[in-house]
Amino acid sequence: MIEKITKKISIIGIGNSIMGDDGVGIHAILNLREMELQAGVEVFDAGTDAFYALEAMDGKDKAIILDACKGNNEPGTLYRLICDPIDGKCNPAFRMSMHQMNFMDVMITSGAYKLPHEIVLLGVEPELLDWSTELSAKVRAVLPMLIEMVLREL
């Protein structure tokens, strides 16, 4: 009998849910928590805590990070960026994350965590970065597409 191998995957929302579109990663996580995801998939709300995000990735096969990303494109633009911190092969655009806090450098140089070989940043270009618990209309409109992108990564 062939045993099915289950990949351990973390989906990590990053952002500040009281700063409008900055919280898009958190809004996505709330939606994903309502879904039945495959075995081995865990969903985390890291807020703006990069170290909690690193802990959520520790020992996983793959991590999917959801965040607002400043790429100077139209609000609602979706991004998919790849990073392999083990080999140091990260798309320089990975720094577009609004919460980088030198996040990429921490990932690459951190010896305290066993990071996955595949880290995918799925981002959305924000429009509203001000006090609000709501997403702007443009970002809210692409939230279902962001969720679909996450599901395709599993």
Q: What is the pLDDT of residues 61-77, one digit of tens each?
A: 999 999 999 888 999 99
> What is the domain partition of the chain in residue ranges?
9-153
CATH 3.40.50.1450 fits 9-153, yes or no: yes
Residue 65: its H or E element:
strand 62-68
**Quick check: 117 pLDDT over 90?**
no
> Cα–Cα distance between 154 and 152 in angstroms, integer?
6
- Residue 14 sits at the vertex; the CA angle it makes with 6 and 7, to the nearest 5 degrees, is 5
Answer whether 0.95 is exceeded by the pTM: no
Total residue count of the chain as it appears in this document: 154
Instruction: Supply the DSSP string of 74-111, one letter for each residue.
Output: -TT-EEEEEEETTTTEE-GGGGGBTT-TTHHHHHHH--
